[in-house]
Amino acid sequence: MRPQLRFLEKDLIERIISEARDVLGTLGMEIHNQQALKLLSDHGARVDSGAHHAWFTDEIIDRALSTALPGFRLYDVNGEETHDLSGENVYFTPGSAAINILDHETGTMRKPVTGDYVRYARLMSSMDNIASQSTAFIPTDVPDEVTDAYRLFLSLLYCSKPVVTGAFTIESFELMKDMQIAVRGSKEHLKEKPLTIFSVCPTAPLKWSDVTSQNLLDCADHSIPVEYISMPLTGFISPVTIVGTLVQHTAETLSGVALTQLRNPGAPALWGGSPAAFDVRYETTPMGAIETQMIDCACSEIGKHLGLPTQAYSALSDAKLLDAQAGLETSMGATLSVLAGINNVSGPGMLDFESCQSLEKLVLDNDICGLVFRLARGIEPRGDFPALPIFEELLRDGHLLISDHTLTNLREEHYFPTPVIDRANRSRWQEEGSLTLGERAHREVEQKITDWEPTGLGEMEEKELVQLMEEAARKFGLDRLPDRE
Amino acid sequence: MDLVTRISESLQRGDNDAVSLLTAEALDKQLDPQVILDDGLIAGMDVIGERFRIHEIFLPEVLLAARAMYAGLDRIEPLLAASGAASRGKVVIGTIQGDLHDIGKNLVGIMLRGAGFEVIDLGNDVSPEAFVTTALEEEAQVIGMSALLTTTMSSMGQTIERLEQEGLRGEIHSIVGGAPVSEDFANQIGAVGYGFDGLSAVELVKRLV
Ligand code: B12
């Protein structure tokens, strides 16, 4: 039996959804994008283009829900399937788009550059429990206008895993899409085998900006999967209660589903979000707060009730260092989200309210993900019945270390973390240098980066990527891309 | 307890009706509006700011107190307007070009208003020209810029260059904030100050005007 966590009774879910529909029908959404407004109006919504406002009918929402996919698959750079985002399947992806990285040498946060990103992408190649990479931070040594695409470029060069990403402007979508087509060979192949997921954010409360709604429409046109990232903040720009916040999240996310499905019925999307329990003492958006994590799980329950695959920002921390708080918040989030069956969990590596990535934390979190995956597999008999023979063997031999039962089940039944998680006895730990968790993690990072092997990306594809990137950079005054090695 | 102290204390309790009534009473008794403002309303808000800083109270209590302050201010403003001392100073705020994050900027605005400053909020995606032109037109002393994206930060520097070109850098102070911004960055682009939350924004502006 897969252990499951549920917070909401069916009646409560249905009430939340019906209240959200009421909000969308009565108050509507502010939408700063004429294409989106026209799309809605063409489908019978009342629209006030001047005021950038649309009111969603039940028919529009029902129709959208009837064409929205219950799941979809992702494929890596080599075209191999890596994700089946449906049912209770859970996958982790590093928290995306950090502003800083935590520099192990100095112990301080700083703005990242190309070399940091290459190290990250290489490291991600061997993070076994983190199935996709994300464009995890923003290298600052290329022109601002191309940084979002530049992350994707580096990711595609150095790691074959699918990429969770997003555009910062309307313009950069084009380049980011062309890069994916370069990898797949054609538009059609990209449609068949999605390579990325784009985050598209409504703006709480009840609003879509021009940039993010255009990104949404553009992704739909190319069947590029999106995840809607609604971000209500309790007591500030959403009700202080969890249920009230769920109503808002549901309304904002339903509006996203409607836009995608009206634009291209059957386009892939995740019911996602990054809600937070706003901290009225510090004016911050704590991702590690237990209420934040409860909201995440509950949002996913609502999405599942609607028959949609889900996403959340969880398994991350607000700590500024790789310290005990970082471990506890990340583990708590990872545990809850795996039990809630959230399909795509964005978080590993992330610190400081989604604003700082740490490679050392990433390897720790890879183990945390391993532990919770084990948890999710639950407890099942494996050749345990009848019980007598194995106990007879135990009494006869005095141990079961080389018993068939052990050899068959050892690696299935137990997860063995990397040496980042300390399980040595005290003397051995001392003999090995009395290393702290941070030091062990750093050693692991260096080892994995050294062991990296090139991805299966073809020479032609690589050339095309470089050409696309160079062209774009040149437009913004950069004649030569930064050295990558 | 004298009337002005009672105004301050009612304000700290967030009791806007009491502040309004007590202010009216004080004016009836011919108390100096400037004294009511400084020793009643603003003194009360200063206490609130400090109690917020040490976590004795939270943001909602601060906003209740600010609302109470405005209940009093509404009554004395007409009198003070004549002498031009109604506000502590004027600040133009906005999120910079290309950036749509406005939560932090809004909070900064709320806190500045709460502390008695006049705030002109230009919203988000604000160009360097708009910052400078508005500050000039409104005779503001401070421009407060917010950036949440690494990719948009540089436009903060452009606003300051523009002030420089117009020969206004001595008159209009620029302050900056937002997640990717730091004290170092502020110095680098020649901003006068960097603030990391609403309260630090208030302290900065207090120092500058
Ligand atoms: C909420 C949020 C959103 C909301 C914004 C809603 C809104 N109305 O603002 C939504 C969901 C819409 C959103 C959208 C996007 N976001 Co966003 N967002 C955040 C998040 C999680 C929190 C920001 C926030 O509101 N914090 C709470 C407030 C109270 O704090 P604050 O903003 O820092 O402000 C305080 C201080 O900084 C200071 N301050 C702020 N301004 C000023 C100004 C002055 C003068 C002073 C003195 C002080 C001061 O005082 C404030 C009050 O305490 C941040 C993460 C983070 N850690 O910042 C990401 C973050 C900033 N977003 C990010 C991204 C990538 C995006 C998108 C591009 C995603 C996408 N692909 O669609 C879009 C933006 C599109 C665009 N062109 O702008 C990245 C930035 C990456 C980077 N390196 O630049 C971050 C870091 C998250 C991440 N890792 O992905 N986002």
Give the residue among A133, A163, A195, A90 at the shortest CA–CA distance from A359.
Answer: A133
Report B:119-178 residues touching A (Cβ under 8 A).
Answer: 149-152, 154
Query: Looking at the DSSP assignment, which residues form a beta bridge with residue A54?
Result: A29, A47
Mean pLDDT within B50-56:
93
Q: Are residues B58 and B132 in the same domain?
A: no
Q: Are residues B69 and B98 in the same domain?
A: no
Q: How far is A240 from chain B (nearest CA, A)?
A: 11
Kindly list the strands in the beta sheet with A53-55, ordered across the sheet, starting from the edge strand earlier in the chain: A46-48, A53-55, A29-31, A207-208
Q: Answer yes or no: are the C-beta atoms of A62 and A251 closer than 8 Å.
A: no
Q: Are residues B170 and B189 in the same domain?
A: yes
Give the residue among A348, A344, A377 at the shortest CA–CA distance from A364.
Answer: A348
Where do the domains of chain A lie?
66-377
Mean pLDDT within B165-173:
93
Q: Are residues B96 and B189 in the same domain?
A: yes
Q: What's the A112 CA to ligand 1 centre distance in angstroms?
A: 18
CA angle B111, A109, A442 (to 5 degrees): 145
Task: Please give the pLDDT value at position A76.
Answer: 98
Say how far apart CA A253 and CA A228 lie, in whole Å: 6
Q: Are residues B116 and B74 in the same domain?
A: no
Please tell me which of the candidates B59, B100, B150 has its beta carbon nearest to residue A283.
B59
Given a cut of 90, whether residue B164 has pLDDT beyond it is yes
Range of the domain at B163: 90-208
Task: Please give the pLDDT value at position A117.
Answer: 98
Task: State what percent of residues in chain B have pLDDT above 70.
Answer: 97
CB atoms within 10 A of CB A248: 26
Q: Which two tokens stand for residue B170?
A: 């001595």
CA angle A34, A36, A40 (to 5 degrees): 115
Q: Are residues B123 and B149 in the same domain?
A: yes
Say how far apart CA B153 and CA A331 lie, in whole Å: 33
Residue of chain B whose Cα is closest to the Cα of A204: B103
Instruction: Please provide residue B35's backbone torsions phi and psi, each rounded to the nearest 5 degrees.
Output: -70, -40
Amino acid at A254: L
Please tell me which of the candidates B59, B104, B154 has its beta carbon nearest to residue A280.
B59
Residue A433 — left, alpha, or beta (φ > 0 → left; ψ -120 to 50 → alpha)?
Answer: left
Residue of chain A whose Cα is closest to the Cα of B154: A144
Supply the angle between the helices B198-208 and B43-53 in degrees, to the nearest 10.
140
Q: Pocket around ligand 1: residues whose beta carbon is below 6 Å from it?
A: A 96-99, 138, 166-168, 199-201, 203, 211-212, 229, 231, 283, 285, 353-355; B 98-105, 107-108, 144-146, 148-151, 175-180, 195-198, 201, 204
Given a cut of 90, whether residue B88 has pLDDT beyond it is no
For the stretch B25-38, pLDDT in tens is: 999 999 999 999 99
CA dihedral (A334, A336, A338, A341) in degrees, to 10, reads -140
Q: Answer yes or no: are the C-beta atoms of A93 and A329 closer than 8 Å.
A: no
DSSP A279: B
Q: How far is A145 from chain B (nearest CA, A)?
A: 7
Q: How far is A414 from chain B (nearest CA, A)?
A: 41
Task: Per-residue pLDDT tens, chain A, 485 aa: give them.
Answer: 999 999 999 999 999 999 999 999 999 999 999 999 999 999 999 999 999 999 999 999 999 999 999 999 999 999 999 999 999 999 999 999 999 999 999 999 999 999 999 999 999 999 999 999 999 999 999 999 999 999 999 999 999 999 999 999 999 999 999 999 999 999 999 999 999 999 999 999 999 999 999 999 999 999 999 999 999 999 999 999 999 999 999 999 999 999 999 999 999 999 999 999 999 999 999 999 999 999 999 999 999 999 999 999 999 999 999 999 999 999 999 999 999 999 999 999 999 999 999 999 999 999 999 999 999 999 999 999 999 999 999 999 999 999 999 999 999 999 999 999 999 999 999 999 999 999 999 999 999 999 999 999 999 999 999 999 999 999 999 999 999 98
Ordered DSSP codes for B1-68: --HHHHHHHHHHTT-HHHHHHHHHHHHHTT--HHHIIIIIIIHHHHHHHHHHHTTSS-HHHHHHHHHH
First to last CA, chain B: 32
Task: Please give the pLDDT value at position B84.
Answer: 58
Q: Are residues B204 and B108 in the same domain?
A: yes
> Which residues of A fall within a CB distance of 8 Å from B180?
99-100, 111, 355
* Domain final residue, candidates B37, B62, B83: B83
Please enumerate residues of A whose Cβ is less than 8 A from a Cβ of B. 99-100, 111, 138, 140, 144-145, 147-148, 168-169, 203, 209, 211-212, 233, 235-237, 280-283, 353, 355
* Domain final residue, candidates B83, B110, B136: B83
Given a cut of 70, whether residue B198 has pLDDT beyond it is yes
Give the residue among A87, A69, A84 at the shortest CA–CA distance from A4.
Answer: A87
Task: Please give the pLDDT value at position B103.
Answer: 94
Atom of ligand 1 nearest to the CA of B201: 47
Instruction: Please provide residue A125's backbone torsions phi and psi, each rounded to the nearest 5 degrees.
Output: -60, -30
DSSP reduced 3-state for A288: coil
Mean pLDDT within B132-137:
97
First to last CA, chain A: 48
Atom of ligand 1 nearest to the CA of A138: 83
Please answer yes or no on whether B151 and A147 come within 8 Å at the CB atom. Answer: yes
Mean pLDDT within B158-169:
94
Average pLDDT of chain B, as a whole number? 93
Q: Is the CB of B58 inside 8 Å of chain A's CB atoms?
A: yes
Atom of ligand 1 nearest to the CA of A202: 12
DSSP reduced 3-state for A96: coil
Please answer yes or no on whether B150 and A148 come within 8 Å at the CB atom. Answer: no
Q: How far is A7 from chain B (nearest CA, A)?
A: 28
Say how far apart CA A127 and CA A418 lie, in whole Å: 11
Specify the pTM: 0.95
Q: Answer yes or no: are the C-beta atoms of A92 and A162 closer than 8 Å.
A: no
Given a cut of 80, whether residue B190 has pLDDT beyond it is yes
Q: Answer yes or no: are the C-beta atoms of A210 and A32 closer than 8 Å.
A: yes
Task: Please give the pLDDT value at position A485.
Answer: 83
CB atoms within 10 A of CB A325: 15
Given a cut of 90, whether residue B78 has pLDDT beyond it is no
Given a cut of 90, whether residue B180 has pLDDT beyond it is yes
Given a cut of 70, whether residue B86 has pLDDT beyond it is no
Please answer yes or no on whether A280 and B152 come within 8 Å at the CB atom. Answer: no
DSSP A73: E
Q: What's the A278 CA to ligand 1 centre distance in angstroms?
A: 13
Residue of chain B whose Cα is closest to the Cα of A278: B59
Please tell me which of the candidates A140, A169, A281 has its beta carbon nearest to residue B58.
A281
Say how far apart CA A370 and CA A52 lie, in whole Å: 46
Residue of chain B whose Cα is closest to the Cα of A237: B103
For the stretch B144-159, pLDDT in tens is: 999 999 999 989 999 9
Mean pLDDT within B178-204:
95
Task: Please give the pLDDT value at position B75.
Answer: 94
Residue of chain B whose Cα is closest to the Cα of A110: B180
Q: What is the CATH number of domain A66-377?
A: 3.20.20.480
* Domain final residue, candidates B50, B83, B116: B83
CB atoms within 10 A of CB A484: 12
Query: Looking at the DSSP assignment, which residues form a beta bridge with residue B96?
Result: B126
Q: Is the CB of B24 inside 8 Å of chain A's CB atoms?
A: no
Q: What's the B148 CA to ligand 1 centre distance in angstroms?
A: 5
Q: Are residues B136 and B47 in the same domain?
A: no
Q: Are residues B99 and B192 in the same domain?
A: yes
Say how far apart CA A305 and CA B12 lie, in whole Å: 46
**How many domains are contained in chain B?**
2
